[in-house]
Amino acid sequence: MDIAKAERSDLPSILKLQYEAYQSEAEIYGEMIPPLKQTIGELEEEFNEGIILKSVVHEEIVGSVRAKL
């Protein structure tokens, strides 16, 4: 597993992973929760304002984390 700074070109894959990861949470709450409503534009804003790291296994993004001061 490698951890690296995400590139702008990674954002669609990160958003897709986020959507897949939060499906079970949405089922628990019975509604669309904020991570499932996020748009690519909103994710791009986070990319511009902070840092997004990605976890990569066999060239596939399997995780991600975001931080901002």
Which residues 6+ apart lie within 8 Å of 22 measured at CB?
Answer: 33, 35, 36
Q: Mind listing the pLDDT tens digit for each residue in 12-38?
A: 999 999 999 999 988 898 888 888 999
Q: Mind listing the pLDDT tens digit for each residue in 38-60?
A: 999 999 999 999 999 999 999 99
Cβ contact 19:55 at 8 Å: no
**pLDDT in the model for residue 31:** 83
